[in-house]
Amino acid sequence: MSAATQATAVVGWRAFAVARDRAIRGLRGRVLEIGAGDGANFGQLSAGVAWVGLEPSLQRRTALGENARRHGHEAAPIAAPAESIPLPDASMDSVLATTVMCSVDDQAQVLAEVARVLVPGGRLVLAEHVAAAPGTAIRTLQRLARPWTRLLDHGCDPVRDTESAVRDSALRMDASRRFLIPVLGRVQVPFVVIEATKQAGGGTSASAQEA
């Protein structure tokens, strides 16, 4: 995929959701969804996708399995953290995660596992909230909120630089589209939709796009 330059972030949840859903609909073949929750993305997956879910929470996994069957996906969700995916090397065509990378324990390890299970040329799609630019008021608010979100929101860390983590991984960053989502009045939190590819040979390259 050739990346296009986007100089400024797009404001609004709808624009983010459209970009996220478009990226999800482009996934094909064997799709691993990490941190699949209760299956909110099933409606966006293309027909014919062989879905595999990874969800460490027992409570969510039960609901996820039921929702998966309603959408025609018979494989039972896997009980495992994203840092240790119990699947063979090069066994997945695509990997998907939405608002998950904020809560994993080790982003670098998760991305190493993603690269391991993807076939060469396999795709990763992430849709995540991320840290605001250093020195901004929003970044300060995120930092102040961090102890509470870590405690009350499944370990969520609002000060995560997921774009840099992908650039530093064994994946090629193809596109990173940035959005500003209003959350409290005029407070706008940055979100990104990232698309990346596992290169043949597992090499790395610089990002092709910055927001």
Distance CA 178, CA 186 (A): 18
Confidence (pTM): 0.89
Task: Walk along the chain (211 residues) and give the pLDDT tens digit of each residue.
Answer: 333 334 468 989 999 999 999 999 999 999 999 999 999 999 999 999 999 999 999 989 999 999 999 999 999 999 999 999 999 999 999 999 999 999 999 999 999 999 999 999 999 999 999 999 999 999 999 999 989 988 887 789 999 999 999 999 999 999 999 999 998 778 899 999 999 999 987 544 333 334 4
* CA dist., res. 51 & res. 32, Å (int): 6
The CATH class given to the 10-200 domain equals: alpha beta
How many Cα atoms are found within 13 Å in the side-chain-facing hemisphere of 99? 16
Cβ atoms of 160 and 192 within 8 Å: the answer is no
**Residue spans per domain, the chain:** 10-200
What does DSSP assign to residue 44?
G
Please return the burial class of 48, using the count of CB atoms within 10 Å of its CB with bins 0-12, 13-18 and 19+.
Answer: exposed
- Tokens encoding 49: 């996708």
Three-class secondary structure of residue 30 per DSSP: strand
**Count of CB atoms situated within 10 Å of the CB of 163:** 22
Distances (CA, A) of 63 to 154, 158, 180: 17, 26, 31
Would you state the structure tokens that stand for residue 88, as one six-digit string?
Answer: 């063979």
